[in-house]
Structure 1
Amino acid sequence: MKWEDIDYHAKEWVKEAGDKIRLSFEKTLNIETKSNPNDLVTNIDKEIEQFFIDKIRGVYPDHKIMGEEGFGDELKSHEGIVWLIDPIDGTMNFIHQQRNFAISIGIYENGIGRIGLIYDVAHNELYNAIRGKGAYLNGKPLPLLKETTVKESIIALNATWVMENHRIDHTLMIPLVRDARGTRSYGTAALEMVFVATGRVDAYLSMRLSPWDFAAGAVIVEELGGIVTNLKGEKLDFLSMDTLFAAKPGLHQQILNDYLKGGKY
C-alpha cells in the first residue's frame, strides 16, 4: 500500500472540498438540528461528505468509510483501511462565523492511524501527517513538541465542564483551570487538536466526542510527540464516542496524575 499516493489524493480532495465550502459562503444555508437544538447540520455538511464518499469509492472501492452525517458504512470493527470523515467540524462556527471550522479526515489501517488531514478552510491552512513521516502545515515541517508544565500552559477546555453538569464532577476541572496560565475554547475539536500540534495551546480536553472528531488530530499530534488518550489515560476507541485528552509530553502525565485521577468519565 502506497500511503503517499493515498495522501496525495486525500489532499487534492480536501482542497477541492474547501473550494466548494468557500463558494457556499454567499449562499443561503439549509440548517437542520440533529440530537438537540444546538447540534446543527447544514446542506453543505451533507454535500461535502457525499463528495468525499464518491471520490473515495471511485478510486479505493475496497476502503471503508465512517462519516459524521451517516452516508458511510456501518462498521463493527476497523479491520482494513477506514476513512473517518468530518466534512465540517465546528458547524455552529461555520454557520455563525464562517471561520473556526475545519475539514477533518483520518485514514486508519486495522485501527492504527496512518494519515491525518485537517484543513482550516477560512485560513487556507492544511495540516497533515503520515505516520512515521512527520507532520506539516502547508507543506512545511512542524517541530516536535516540547515538555511543559500546567503553570506554563494554555488549556483548551469548554467552560461547560467547569460548570455543574451531568457528565462529570465539575469540581475536578476547577483546580486545573485555576493553576493553568489560561484557558481557551474554539468550538472545533479538529482545530483544537492542531493547536496542540502547533503549540498554540498546550492541552485539549473534551468529555464527549465521536471518532471522526479526533481521528485526524490524533495522527498529527502523536507524530509530533504529543500524547492522545481518553481522560482515563486509555487508548481511544475509534468506533464509538469517548472522552479526549491531547497534550504535550510531560504535561499529559502531570494533568493525568494531579488532576484527572479518580474522576468518573
Structure 2
Amino acid sequence: MDEDTRDELFHQAKKWVEEAGEIIRNKINDPLTIDTKSDAKDLVTQMDKAIEYFFVQRIKQEYPNHLVLSEEGYGDDVTSMDGTIWIIDPIDGTMNFVQQKRNFAISVGIYHDGVGEIGLIYNVIDDVLYSAKRTQGAFRNDVKLPKLKERLTLEKSMLGLNHYWLCDNRLVEGTEMQRLVRKIRGTRSYGSAALEFAFVAEGILDGYLAISLSPWDIAAGMVIVNEVGGVSTNIEGKPLHILEKNSVMTCHPAIHDQLIQEYIQVGKK
C-alpha cells in the first residue's frame, strides 16, 4: 500500500471512529437490550450491532472492493488476507460497557495483503484515540508515543493478564504462573484487549498476556504496538495468525523471551 492511500484510509477511518464514539457517548445511558453469545459472560448489545453496521455500511459504500472482518456478523466471510481488509470490534469490552459504562474501546485495524497498515483504538468515554500508520509512528491523540524504553527487566515489569489464565488447568495445577506473578512488579486486568494493547504501546503496561483472542481483539493493537518497537506473538513466540483465535503476548522486546520461557515451563508440567 502506498503512502497516499494509507493516509487517505487513515483519515477516513479516524473520522468514522470519532463519529461512532460520539454516537455511543450520546446513547450511553439509554436502556440496553443485552443478549449472550457463546455463554453468559459473552455479552452483545444492540449498540455493538449498531456500531458495527455503521462501519460496514460506510466502508462498503466508500470502498466496495474492501472486505470487512467483524465480530457481530455484518462483515464478510474472510478466508484470506489478500486485498484490503478492515478488522473491526465495535465495542471491545462489552461487559465493561454494560456494567461500568467505561473501560471499553472501538478497535479498527486495516490490513493490506496481510500487512497491518493502520491501527485505531478509541477509548470512547475518556476521548483518547490511540493510532498508528505503518512506518509513521504511533500516537495518543495528537502526541507521538516514544519508542519503548531501552532497558527493562522482568522484575520491574507490570503485565496485563486476562482472567482465562486462572482457568487453564496447566496453570491452576502448577505453580509457574504464581512464580511469574511474584517475580514481576505487578499485574492488571482491564477487561478490554484493545485497551491493554494500547497501554503497552503507551508504556503504562510492559506486556499483556491473553488466552483465546479473536482477530478483532488484536488487529489494531498489533499495528500500534509495532510502531513503538514492541513485539506481538503467540504465547510460544510464534507469529500470530490474524484470521484465527490466538493465545497472545504483546510486550516490550526486552522481556519477550523470558516470558516465553516462563510459559514453556508451565506447558511442560
Does TM-score exceed 0.5, indicating one fold?
yes
CA distance in 2, matches of 1:180, 1:66: 36
Secondary structure, counterpart of 1:77 in structure 2 = coil
1:149 and 1:254 in contact (8 A); partners too: no
In the other structure, the counterpart of 2:107 is: 104
CA distance in 2, matches of 1:81, 1:9: 14
CA distance in 1, matches of 2:223, 2:98: 27
Secondary structure, counterpart of 2:257 in structure 1 = helix
In the other structure, the counterpart of 1:215 is: 219
CA distance in 1, matches of 2:187, 2:265: 23
CA distance in 1, matches of 2:87, 2:228: 21
**Closer, same or farther in 2 for the Cα pair 1:184/1:4, shift >3 Å?**
same
Q: 1:186 aligns with which of 182, 186, 190?
A: 190
1:108-148 CA distance string (max 9 Å, x none): 01111000000000100000000000001112100001241
1:116 and 1:129 in contact (8 A); partners too: yes
Q: How does 1:52-71 map to 2 (within 5 A)?
A: 52-71=55-74
Letter in 1 for 2:118: I
2:177 and 2:266 in contact (8 A); partners too: no
In the other structure, the counterpart of 1:14 is: 17
CA distance in 1, matches of 2:111, 2:243: 12
Equivalent residues, number: 262
The answer to whether residue 168 in structure 2 is matched with residue 165 in structure 1 is yes
The answer to whether residue 134 in structure 2 is matched with residue 127 in structure 1 is no
Runs of 4+ in 1 over 6 A off after TM superposition: none
Letter in 2 for 1:145: L
TM-score after normalising by structure 2: 0.94
Q: 2:36 aligns with which of 29, 33, 38?
A: 33
The answer to whether residue 230 in structure 2 is matched with residue 226 in structure 1 is yes
Secondary structure, counterpart of 1:261 in structure 2 = helix
Secondary structure, counterpart of 1:117 in structure 2 = strand
1:216-249 CA distance string (max 9 Å, x none): 0000001100010010101111111011100011
Secondary structure, counterpart of 2:89 in structure 1 = strand
The answer to whether residue 181 in structure 2 is matched with residue 177 in structure 1 is yes
In the other structure, the counterpart of 1:202 is: 206
Letter in 1 for 2:49: K
Secondary structure, counterpart of 2:209 in structure 1 = strand
Shift of 1:25: 1.2
The answer to whether residue 116 in structure 2 is matched with residue 113 in structure 1 is yes
Shift of 1:160: 4.1
CA distance in 1, matches of 2:9, 2:87: 14
Structure 2 runs not aligned, ≥5 long: none
Structure 1 runs not aligned, ≥5 long: none
2:119 and 2:220 in contact (8 A); partners too: yes
The answer to whether residue 126 in structure 2 is matched with residue 138 in structure 1 is no
Q: 1:261 aligns with which of 256, 260, 264?
A: 264
CA distance in 1, matches of 2:138, 2:111: 16
TM-score after normalising by structure 1: 0.96
Shift of 1:40: 0.1
